[in-house]
Amino acid sequence: MTTFNPQSILSSRTAAVEEAIIIRMSQKAREMKAQGHDVISLTIGEPDFDTPQHIRDAAYQAMNDGYTHYAPIPGMPELRKALAKKLKKENQLDYDWSEIVVSNGAKQSITNAIFATVDEGDEVILLAPFWVAYEGVIRMAGGKPIIIFAGLEDNFKPPASRLKAAMTAKTKLVILNSPNNPTGAMFNTDELAEFAAVICDHPRAMVISDEIYEYINFDEEHVSIASLPGMQSRTITVNGFSKGFAMTGWRLGYAAAPGPIVKAMSKVQGTFTAGANAFVQMAAVTALEGPRDDVEHMRQTYLARRNLVVDGLNAIDGIQAPKPAGTFYVFADVSKLFGKTLSNHKIDNVDDLCNWLLEVHHVATVPGSAFGDAKSLRISFATSTENLTEAIKRIAWAVNP
Ligand SMILES: Cc1ncc(COP(=O)(O)O)c(C=O)c1O
């Protein structure tokens, strides 16, 4: 009998994707907590609120009404129609409900979109800093991520000229994410119009517009790029219920796109999984059409916490924390600390700083290297004011003892 090593049969597709640093940091924080350490985790990418009661009630009701069977692959007509109304009213987008595919989270919508459009060797442009999951999906689909960068000096928003310079005959997709994870930056109408002009000049490029943080915005109107002239036929608009409605565990997202793209996305979804959970889809209709007081309460709470965290971090020598326009993340530049020796520990880079903050000071953050910017770290303020106040105190003491 020959010896068999299961490792030897792993596909090159899985090898192309690394375990996300963010998962590693969260895991490490959890392990330290389990060992009895008083760890404050600021790594989390989900609301610390429970789903509003009326949405939970709607799910029970839907279950009792018999919505416990397979749902149609592209989604329940009730939800797709409610989404078409939402997109019209809130985003000035004119989609027929047949142009909407519901999936198990925005992440699956993004995966569907990439697998529906990207062939081996096609290029997909990412604007760094970016949510790292995009890169893994592009690689698994055989595509080539092309990364353009905009740091703090650009307010984390690249000029359209940088996008233009990165586009080639092989560019299939440009992924935009506003409000942005990890920086909280938002694109306004003028900035989007400049991107739109570059993209419309190109014979076959489309945009995936990831708008999952739409409802968590503080200073500016959220703008959907598909609402700009000529852009609806060039855009796959992705959104979901996880962040704004505090429904991460329900796994529900959606994409709206021109007919042929939607058909192909539905085909991908039908191949890999099936329709999203039926009673969750019915509860989502209630989320869209019911009262929004809870959504607004969460937004106001995040806003107060944003100000607390930004002010607290900026008071620390060596840290520069720009105010995020949206999301529940602050992306703080810590590069002035590199090369310094703090309490007998030399800080070489951001990974080093984040490990040291966790291991010695018991505050878990995510190094910016996880998002393509190694000068900063990401702090999530989706946690209590007490946790945030204590975490800032610890970081201040760690950095300026
Ligand atoms: C930018 C961005 N897009 C999409 C998602 C995934 O959303 P969902 O829970 O709907 O899959 C996340 C989650 O962290 C995110 O940060």
Listed residues 226, 261, 289: the one ending a domain: 289
Same domain for 248 and 225, yes or no, is yes
339 is written with which tokens? 């090369």
Instruction: Choose among 287, 278, 295, 286: nearest CA to 102.
Output: 278
Instruction: Say if residues 125 and 159 touch (Cβ distance below 8 Å).
Output: no
Average pLDDT, the chain: 96
CATH number, residue 278:
3.40.640.10
Tell me which DSSP letter residue 356 carries.
Answer: H
Same domain for 205 and 90, yes or no, is yes
Q: Looking at 26-35, 220-229, 356-365, which range is the least confident one?
A: 26-35
Q: Is the pLDDT of residue 20 over 80?
A: no
Segment 22-69, tens digit of pLDDT: 888 888 999 999 999 999 999 988 999 999 999 999 999 999 999 999
Instruction: Say if residues 159 and 127 touch (Cβ distance below 8 Å).
Output: no
CATH number, residue 323:
3.90.1150.10
Same domain for 215 and 333, yes or no, is no
Segment 284-341, tens digit of pLDDT: 999 999 999 999 999 999 999 999 999 999 999 999 999 999 999 999 999 999 999 9
Segment 114-168, tens digit of pLDDT: 999 999 999 999 999 999 999 999 999 999 999 999 999 999 999 999 999 999 9
Q: Which residue blocks in 143-188 are alpha helix, DSSP H?
A: 160-166
- Verify whether ligand 1 is closer than 6 Å to residue 45 (CB atom): yes
Residue 56 CB neighbours (<10 A): 15
Listed residues 249, 268, 289: the one ending a domain: 289
- Verify whether ligand 1 is closer than 6 Å to residue 333 (CB atom): no
Same domain for 334 and 382, yes or no, is yes
Residue 139 lies in a domain: yes
Whole-number pLDDT of residue 314: 98
Which whole number is the average pLDDT over 368-381? 95
- Let me know if 170 is exposed, middle or buried by CB neighbors in 10 A (0-12, 13-18, 19+): middle
Whole-number pLDDT of residue 258: 97
Listed residues 243, 273, 289: the one ending a domain: 289
CA 398 and chain centroid, separation = 29
The Cα 395–Cα 138 span in angstroms is: 36
Q: Is the pLDDT of residue 1 over 90?
A: no
Whole-number pLDDT of residue 130: 97
Same domain for 191 and 238, yes or no, is yes
Distance 330 CA to ligand 1 centre (A): 16
Structural domain boundaries, residue 368? 6-50+294-399
Q: Which of 102, 109, 131 to mutate to test the pocket of ligand 1 (most atoms within 8 A of CB)?
A: 131
- Residue 27: which H helix or E strand, with range? helix 21-34
Residue 161 lies in a domain: yes
Distance 396 CA to ligand 1 centre (A): 30
Residue 163 lies in a domain: yes
Instruction: Choose among 95, 93, 97, 62: nearest CA to 77.
Output: 97
Whole-number pLDDT of residue 21: 81
Same domain for 285 and 298, yes or no, is no
How many domains does the structure of the chain reveal? 2
